[in-house]
Structure 1
Amino acid sequence: MIFPDDYKDRIKRINERLMDSLNVMEDQRLKAAMSHYPSAGGKRLRPLLATMVSEAVGGKADAALPFGVALEMVHNFTLVHDDVMDEDDTRRGIKAVHSAFGIPEAILAGDAMFARAFEIALESDIEDARTIMLVEILARAVRLLAEGQQMDMDFENMDSVSSDEYLKMIERKTAVLYSAAAQGGAIAGGGTVAHQEALFEYGRLIGLGFQIMDDVLDLTSTREAFGKPVLNDIRNGKKTLIVVHALENLKGSQRDEFLAVLGKKDATESELVRAKEILEGIGAIDHASRIANEFVAKAKDQLSVLKDSDHKNALKTFADYMVLRKT
């Protein structure tokens, strides 16, 4: 089987734990709003990573399961709030929570999911000192996520963004949950400080590669394969690494033509396709793909801290998947 299909039984357990964790809710409408995205499915990469790292440092997968589920709950709560802020009415083919239940309910659902994540993390069946470390990692991740989202929104109103600024933003908005998953998995599995530090960096680097490749797929994939509308980043004026590189290199009328479409909410299909052609022509998409692959290569170097094993090899496969995936 091909990754992540070879972990389908574990992903099933993650899904069961995730959905069961919502049964504490008494208000059925709020519970339905909270479960709206989790019940629609997903790859569950963050909790899967936490359990895989726990095994790689010599622990059990289940030791990291509560923390992984807590991260997945945080991830889903950010999606709920992001969709409200971005005024997106759909997500991966279903109504956004605020579209289905209302904006007040979406805000409350996100708040409750945020709180529930910490309760789940505290269910970890490991020594208290390590549980405290996991809660600290979770709190830090949520704080950095908020900063990353604010930076992303700020970028839309800025004339120019540097590559370093973009990378700082996605490190907070996206990579932080992967670094948390890998570091937390090492802690839950009983790993050493050296394990924790190396795997934090591994998670950070694959998270950066993941987001950059997501930006690439928004331009190169199809709606059917990607699972959501494509070319949206251009329409929404997102300052992705691709756009940053293009704006650093485009000149004259071609630059003017691209800027006329970037951030144009009512851009036509032909305008968006033309903007994509400009990005391809300037080499911006290839540049971003190359950077994403470089991050993943560096991430795999961090695994030298681990003893050779099937679990270590699985983490290499996980890293490759972050840039080879089509969805």
Structure 2
Amino acid sequence: MVQRGQRVEEAILARRERVNDAIPDDLPVVEPERLYEASRYLLDAGGKRLRPTMVLLAAEALADVEPLSVDYRAFPALSGDDVDVMSAAVSVEMIQSFTLIHDDIMDDDDLRRGVPAVHREYDLETAILAGDTLYSKAFESMLETGAEPDRSVQAVSKLASTCTKICEGQAFDIDFESRDAVTPDEYLEMVELKTAVLYAASAAIPAELLGADEEIDALYGYGLDVGRAFQIQDDLLDLTTPSEKLGKQRGSDLVEDKQTLITLHAREQGVDVDSLVDTDSVEAVTEAEIDEAVERLEEAGSIDYARETAHELIASGKENLQILPDNEARDLLEGIADYLVEREY
């Protein structure tokens, strides 16, 4: 019997392949080629495709169909009309890629997904244009699902408000870097805006497109909780996963004085977080310095605190799925929630 964890990984891989096959159709490389090559650069570099996978699985669960058995380009809506849920899936992945390009520019990061960041591979101007192109193309794709007009408007509105919230979250994140005191509640609000809302939209938009009104709020709540847990796990992985597996320097968040639930808890325990590493350069920090910093954070109970918070959020998120039919797709959505806090990179 295949264990659940393996089934979840296989489900993610299968849908990732479907999404990868769809991206060139929704975002072809046309003139000007350099712009569209830069726009496709991170999409072609890989990625887990967790958000579009969530779109596809939420649609499968709502329609109570056998996973992977239907045409995502002509998915049966509850009204009987076909909806292109793959366009919605690609749309949210474009938004994700857009945010990564702009994040890397703001943070002046060199690497993303193990390859040079877009502004390093191309140039700053092209990277900004590539991000803007992905942003606008995402809305074009969301408008091409063939859903009923009111449903289409609802989904596009959800995507637009999500993008606004992501920018608000990024602004809070930047503000936190210059503040001496940030509370865990403020951090969780920032994470909700910066990261979790795109997971929430990914889970809820299929219900909007397919006409499953009663399930919209529950799926949105599921996405918010698991999305916050995902970011907490990302913060943990930044400290505990080798650089080569992360695709960036381990401990970079700590070196750059980014506020995380881990460091906020450590401050409350009396740890001088600012002194954990002696350098403010990601390139200059050593593995030994990061190891020592992690040891001090573990002694303060901050690593365990962050892990426990993430698991509590996952449990809360999974509760929201009880409104869905009891089928394999719902079980996989629950499994993905667990995967988000069990993954190692």
Residue 259 of structure 1 corresponds to 274
Query: Aligned AA for 1:53?
Result: A
Match of 1:249 among 255, 260, 269: 269
What is the CA distance between 1:6 and its match in structure 2? 3.0
Q: Secondary structure, in 3 states, of the residue corresponding to 1:25? A: coil
- Cα distance in 1 for partners of 2:36, 2:274 equals 43
- Cα distance in 1 for partners of 2:205, 2:11 equals 22
Name the CA shift for 1:89/1:228 in 2 (closer, same or farther; >3 Å). closer
- Cα distance in 2 for partners of 1:240, 1:183 equals 27
Residue 277 of structure 1 corresponds to 295
1:225 aligns with 2:230: no
- Cα distance in 2 for partners of 1:95, 1:69 equals 23
Q: Please give the TM-score of this superposition, normalised by the length of structure 2.
A: 0.89
Residue 3 of structure 2 corresponds to none
- Cα distance in 2 for partners of 1:58, 1:22 equals 27
Instruction: Map Cα deviations across residues 137-192 of structure 1 (whole Å, 9 max, x no partner).
Output: 11011101111111111111111210011001110111010000011022223313
Instruction: Map Cα deviations across residues 246-276 of structure 1 (whole Å, 9 max, x no partner).
Output: 00112xxxx34x3224672244433332221
- Cα distance in 1 for partners of 2:204, 2:44 equals 27
- Cα distance in 1 for partners of 2:254, 2:16 equals 33
Q: What is the aligned-residue identity percentage?
A: 40
Residue 196 of structure 1 corresponds to 216
Residue 213 of structure 1 corresponds to 233
Name the CA shift for 1:298/1:58 in 2 (closer, same or farther; >3 Å). same
- Cα distance in 1 for partners of 2:212, 2:119 equals 41
Match of 2:335 among 306, 313, 317: 317
Query: Aligned AA for 1:260?
Result: S
- Cα distance in 2 for partners of 1:267, 1:322 equals 28
What is the CA distance between 1:74 and its match in structure 2? 0.6
Residue 93 of structure 1 corresponds to 114
Q: Secondary structure, in 3 states, of the residue corresponding to 2:266? A: helix
Q: Secondary structure, in 3 states, of the residue corresponding to 1:57? A: helix
Instruction: Map Cα deviations across residues 222-257 of structure 1 (whole Å, 9 max, x no partner).
Output: 22333432111111111000000000112xxxx34x
Mapped contact 1:54–1:188 kept (Cα < 8 A): no
**Unmatched 5+ residue regions in structure 2?**
1-5, 65-69, 74-82
- Cα distance in 1 for partners of 2:57, 2:22 equals 17
What is the CA distance between 1:7 and its match in structure 2? 4.3
Mapped contact 2:19–2:90 kept (Cα < 8 A): yes
What is the CA distance between 1:24 and its match in structure 2? 6.1
- Cα distance in 2 for partners of 1:310, 1:267 equals 46
What is the CA distance between 1:221 and its match in structure 2? 1.6
- Cα distance in 2 for partners of 1:132, 1:178 equals 19
Mapped contact 2:238–2:250 kept (Cα < 8 A): yes
Hey, which bits of structure 1, 4+ residues long, moved more than 4 A?
A: 59-62
Question: How well do the aligned residues superpose, as a CA RMSD in angstroms?
Answer: 1.6
Q: Please give the TM-score of this superposition, normalised by the length of structure 1.
A: 0.93
Q: Secondary structure, in 3 states, of the residue corresponding to 2:217? A: helix
Mapped contact 1:46–1:68 kept (Cα < 8 A): yes
- Cα distance in 1 for partners of 2:41, 2:158 equals 26
Mapped contact 2:203–2:219 kept (Cα < 8 A): yes
Mapped contact 2:166–2:193 kept (Cα < 8 A): yes
**Unmatched 5+ residue regions in structure 1?**
none
Mapped contact 2:29–2:37 kept (Cα < 8 A): no
- Cα distance in 2 for partners of 1:84, 1:125 equals 35
